[in-house]
Amino acid sequence: MFLPGVERPDLPEFMTWEELEQLPEEIADQIELWDGRVVCDGAG
């Protein structure tokens, strides 16, 4: 689930682990990569 008050950035459909690590921790903690595809926990 996304944290209240934390704005979701526009994310690409695919990312590398290096790109994910460059995001703010509160955003990166809510994202998983499945074969490079961005999957956001709680995204509807």
Whether the pLDDT of residue 11 is over 80: the answer is yes
Q: Kindly state the helix (H) or strand (E) to which residue 25 belongs, with its residue range.
A: helix 25-28
The model carries a pTM of 0.64
The residues near 8 (Cβ < 8 Å, ≥ 6 apart) are 2, 27, 40
Whether the pLDDT of residue 4 is over 70: the answer is no
Task: Give the pLDDT score at 10.
Answer: 81
Whether the pLDDT of residue 44 is over 50: the answer is no
Q: Which residue has the higher pLDDT, 1 or 36?
A: 36
CB of 38 within 8 A of CB of 13? Answer: yes
pLDDT above 70: percentage of residues in the chain? 70
